[in-house]
Structure 1
Amino acid sequence: MPKRTTHEESTCPVARPLDVVGDGWTLLIVRDAFDGLRRFGQFQKNLGLARNILSARLTNLVANGVFELAPAADGSPYQEYVLTEKGRALFPVITALRQWGDQWFFAEGEPRARLVERGSGAPIEAMEVRAAGGRVLGPEDAEVLLP
């Protein structure tokens, strides 16, 4: 099996985080954390993921400061995985991925999970990239400046 490439020295802000969240299972674990899951068993049951793979992904997320371990809220001897500030900052990433998936991977009328505002149940507005002045930007409106 070929050795996995690391992006830790890359000057690209897209490449570096892929070492932490570039795996599909990892993004689903983070999604589940936003949905309220906190315990190993909850993640495993929801994802149907092998224990060794889940353990490796959670260890990586803790080591990279996306989750921290905390005593179980119910006082049991278990530990829970709690999103850190760094982890909570992934909310717009997961939301954008949800919205992209909703638009491009479901047929009209096909049932799907929906992200809504807690309390009101109102749909979340589509995310947009905007200029400093508020104008909506597309890929043709942006450029990458290399160091």
Structure 2
Amino acid sequence: MFEFAVSLHSAIESSFYGLYFAGAQLRPVGFPHVVDDDSRRKITPKAVAAAYKKQWPDCGMGAELATVKDSTFYDKLARTRNVLAHRIAPGFEHRVTLIGDALESAEEYGDELVWRGEKLETLVPDMLSGTEGLLRGLWTRAAEFFESART
């Protein structure tokens, strides 16, 4: 579960990061955080959406980035990733198991594992399809944006 949630979150965050650098190729002045490692730490989903909205206010790319960033699904995925990364990551003393004492967020009901109130048998596919949906919308809009930028 740890690797799955972290990977899904990373796919979205990496898309934002990559789109920031792509925008910098078109309008370097509008994407100033590409110069050094310290400045690159300022590249966040919020900063990426703001840069696109400012540089191309009428294209819809900034709005699409903001939609992804502000979605309840992305927020839930980020919170899930943070709980897993900071509370039960490999190397920490806490573990989620089906044997012995479980963390408050993981419980076994009969033959089902429930994490934070959701059955894993539905949570995992929902997380995957939710991430696919966000990325599909984002990259479809990005393809349209960059195609129009070429002309």
User: What TM-score do the two structures reach when normalised by structure 2?
Assistant: 0.27
Which structure has more RCO (C-alpha within 8 Å, separation ≥ 6)?
A: 2
TM-score (norm 1): 0.28
Q: Which has the higher helix share?
A: 2
